[in-house]
Amino acid sequence: MRWSAQELSTEQTGALPGLARLNNLVRSVRTPEFAGITFHEVLAKSALNRVPGQSAMPFGWTINPYRGCSHACSYCFARPTHTYLDLDAGTDFDNEIIVKVNVAEVLRKELAKPGWGRHPVALGTNTDPYQRAEGRYRLMPGIIAALAQSGTPLSILTKGTLLRRDLDLLVEASEVVPVDLAMSIAIYDDELQQAVEPGTPSTAARLATVTAVRERGLDCSVFMMPILPFLTDTKAHLDAALRQARAAGASNIMYTALHLRPGVKDWYLQWLARDHPELMPRYQELYAKGAYAPKEYRIWLAARIKPLIRAHGLERGREDPATGGVRSSALGRPELGRPELARPEFARPPANPAAP
């Protein structure tokens, strides 16, 4: 489908005010393929983001090719990031997607600067780089190639089964730089999964993606994040989840209890009140004092899940404290990346058929 026929004007009546102020907005696009979703294509001024507050080496670096996410997870901690353009953290986050169409080109220029230290770069720690739109825009192949060509280690955390499209490229990149992959699979009850994260691939499809990654010789962590109090913290649910992750070939498991930051809490509790009103008093008590579940709950959860992790022959993986993603296997290695080993094919970014 030619998306140009679906182009909208940001000057039209009712245009979103934050987007109308952008001086790097190329166009806004709607298409029947993505009913109810508007894509706002922008020219990124930068690609690499340094995580603030990290004073010690190695620094945390991320890339976010998209802002907003059609996965529509009601608990997503990144929702408040949408408010910088006068978009709300609820429906707009799910349906108004910012696409940085030139992100790979900008990234290559940044990685070529003499001062770039080839620190590990994380993708998927804010919004998902393999959400549905990636099937159209194909931003990730260019990003992966740019990082590998420069000798920069990378990690990817995703709920998107579209990761499988790029496995050949990721395997090739892993021969040059450390590549660390993780699949986020928090909910192993199909009905609950579709209710709380309606835009995501099924749990079965994500587990199959873990298997596909492992069959290609790469490790793949499984993030059981977040564990939802009184919904997915039963022993039966945790046991079933770990059994399925083990069968899929998960390299290790990472977990944490749900946290509800301002801007996320209201949206999640709105879903909870609609689907599980009986739990509202318990949640209001549990999260009365802050965004994180109380220490007592976290101790209780650890005591419940750790024996199950051991029983299934898994181990707890290590989360990167800077980015919140999977910890790069490059950390602690003095060379980090080896750009002199980069293959010639990584020097040529793949074509982007969606570029305007």
Sheet holding 220-227, edge to edge: 48-50, 61-63, 121-123, 154-158, 179-184, 220-227, 253-257
User: What Å distances lie between residue 253 and 101, 131, 193, 230, CA to CA?
Assistant: 33, 22, 19, 20
Q: What is the pLDDT of residue 333?
A: 58
| pTM given for the model | 0.89
| Cβ atoms < 10 Å from Cβ of 160 | 27
Q: What is the pLDDT of residue 10?
A: 39
Q: What is the pLDDT of residue 187?
A: 98
User: Would you give per-residue pLDDT tens digits along the chain (356 residues)?
Assistant: 334 444 444 333 344 556 666 678 889 999 999 999 999 999 999 999 998 875 454 569 999 999 999 999 999 999 998 887 788 889 999 999 999 999 999 999 999 999 999 999 999 999 999 999 999 999 999 999 999 999 999 999 999 999 999 999 999 999 999 999 999 999 999 999 999 999 999 999 999 999 999 999 999 999 999 999 999 999 999 999 999 999 999 999 999 999 999 999 999 999 999 999 999 999 999 999 999 999 999 999 999 999 999 999 999 999 998 888 999 999 865 544 444 444 555 544 444 444 43
